[in-house]
Amino acid sequence: MSTGNTPTRAARHQLWLGLALVLAGGVFLLDNLHFLELRRILPFWPVLLVALGAARLLTAAPGDKGEQIVGGLLLGLGSLMLLRRLGWLHMEWRDFWPLVLIGLGILVMTRQPSRGGPFGQVNRDVHDRQLDVKAVLSGQQFRVQTPDFVGGQVQAVLAGVELDLSQAGFERAVLEVSVVMAGLELRLPPDCRLRVTASSVLGQVEDKTQPLPGASRELELRGSLVLGGITVRH
């Protein structure tokens, strides 16, 4: 479950979020300075979804199902909305929303069952120094028991992940997260404090920890949340 390119993937997520914010700010600035009329280009905003989805598909690592699914959803949704605004697709949302269920059904059927538990669910102990967790349309539970834990990455898309670090040995660990329409629950040792540097878009990190006085250990959360939630407790 170890990985050697965790920072690269997390940096890519941070780059896309930063580019989106810069682009949005630039458009509003040009509108305020009267270099363009926002009301004329606003109807074509689904182009941004198409571009973002295509970019994520092109830059997704081979076998990175989470990134591929997010990219495909953005590309498909943006394309449908753009075609409708151009008048080439005469359909309302109520007409084509079942396509979402069909797509999710295909993903569930083509997804391989996880070993050692019910379909779509993983329950296991982890002894690796570095995590590489990917959860798509599933529920997964992990308990880390390595004495020299350094961190890793967790990617969750339309899924739920429980990660127990209460028995992990570390002084400082960094966890890169990518939570998209999903939930992540972390459990830390009582002598560990939490540091959050992850960016969030309509997401939330709920810190319920109460570290012991003089707690010397630290877990840093990096990465991004989009319509997702993270709960951290002891």
Rg (C-alpha) for the chain, rounded Å, is 20
Q: What is the DSSP letter of 149?
A: -
Report the pLDDT value the prediction gives residue 103, as an integer from 0 to 100.
66
In whole angstroms, give the CA distance from residue 152 to residue 193: 17
Give the start-to-end residue ranges of the domains of the chain: 6-110, 121-233
Amino acid at 7: P
What are the tens digits of pLDDT across the range 97-110? 776 677 666 666 55
Structure tokens at 63: 């076998």
DSSP per-residue codes, 135-177: EESSEEEEEE--TT--EEEEEEES-EEEEE-TT---SEEEEEE
pLDDT band at 175 (very low <50, low <70, confident <90, very high): very high
Higher pLDDT, 4 or 229: 229
Record the pTM.
0.53
In whole angstroms, give the CA distance from residue 186 to residue 163: 5
What are the tens digits of pLDDT across the range 37-54? 777 777 778 888 888 788
- Which ranges of 60-97 would DSSP assign to H, the alpha helix? 65-85, 93-96
Going by C-alpha positions, the residue among 64, 152, 159, 65 that lies closest to residue 121 is 159
Q: How many CB atoms lie within 10 A of CB 210?
A: 10
Query: Cβ distance 79 to 50 under 8 Å?
Result: yes
